[in-house]
Chains A and B, each alone.
Chain A
Amino acid sequence: MELANIEELVEKYLDATTTLQEEATLKNYFTGGNVAIHLQEYAYLFNYFATAKEEQFKKTINLAPKKKRNLTWFSAAASIALFVSIFFGKQQYNKHEQRKEAQRIYVQVSKGLALLSSNLKKGEQAVAVLYTYENTINKILK
């Protein structure tokens, strides 16, 4: 292509009014190697564009979802565990309370019985005194 033509296209290129076809023409000219000295900088530019387009994404595409822990199952399990522990805990607590209550009653009852027995003892002693008293009287009266 004629140099004058290229120069014209370069001007259009800088104004961003070139079509893709015209830009392809420029690219061909500037990457061809035979570039006019005063247009040398465009050769750098278009060569860079050409090399930049060769870069590729080389990693394998991974479409499997990332390992995310399934929190729904996790929370379901946690809530079941909570309910179970509350249920058994409540039972245990009730048992514990019953035992405590029984102990309290036992202590009260045994206290009452002890009081009763001590009072009975007192009564027995009194009766015993009465007996000795009566015996003595009988002895005297005989």
Chain B
Amino acid sequence: MKQSDFLKVVLPFKDKVFRLAKRLLVSNEEAEDATQELLFKLWKSKEKIAGYRNVEAFAMTMTKNYCYDRLKSKQANNLTLVHSNYKENETSLDKKIEYQDSVNQVHVLIEKLPEQQKIIIQLRDIEQYDFEEICIMVDMKPTAVRVALSRARKKIREQLTKNHNYGVS
């Protein structure tokens, strides 16, 4: 597999890898490093992936595992990533209209979800993978994926309604 062939395979989903990494690692730099590292890992095992039917699913699984490892080593270093550690580029002060605010709030709400639900929300609602693919990526049974997804969606909606009704944001 030549470099150009490899890029042809990888380019369609590199953004998905990046977004998943960012969902889990929170910071932009971390996610960029992770994406770079993962693409390099894929390139190194290019002989192997040439035989895979679904390179994308394989890459997403790798991303998930890699991010878990990163998070684990972070915990070991007593470093926690929280929302306040970084600034969302979209939220410039002058643009803080209520609507935009509520949209961004979803981001914070997703961040508060358990890791697994975060991944599943990311894969389903943002990347729109079908359940079959998600099952492969997260190595879970379809029912378990549905349960986790339903829980995550309900949780987010519940919080959104609460904030909306009380006008707290």
Contacts and interface: CB of A to CB of B under 8 A. Distances in A.
Specify the main secondary structure of chain B where it touches its partner: helix
A63 B6 CA distance: 10
Contacts of B35: 57, 59
A46 B65 CA distance: 27
B10 A41 contact: no
B130 A44 contact: no
Given A44-B160, A56-B15, A61-B39, A51 B10 contact: no
B15 A52 contact: no
Contacts of A23: 125, 128
A15 B14 contact: no
Contact of B125 (A17, A41, A49, A59): A49
B70 interface: no
Interface of B: 3, 6-7, 10, 14-15, 17-19, 22, 32, 35-36, 39-40, 43, 90, 99, 102-107, 125-128, 130, 145-147, 149-150, 153-154, 156-157, 160-161, 164
Given A57-B15, A57-B35, A63-B43, A51 B157 contact: no
A90 to B, nearest CB: 45
The CB with the most chain B CB atoms within 10 A, among A24, A47, A63, is that of A63
B105 A44 contact: yes
A31 B150 CA distance: 21
Contacts of A56: 15, 18
B126 A53 contact: yes
Given A61-B36, A61-B39, A16 B103 contact: no
8 contacts: A41-B161, A44-B102, A44-B105, A45-B160, A48-B106, A57-B17, A59-B32, A59-B35
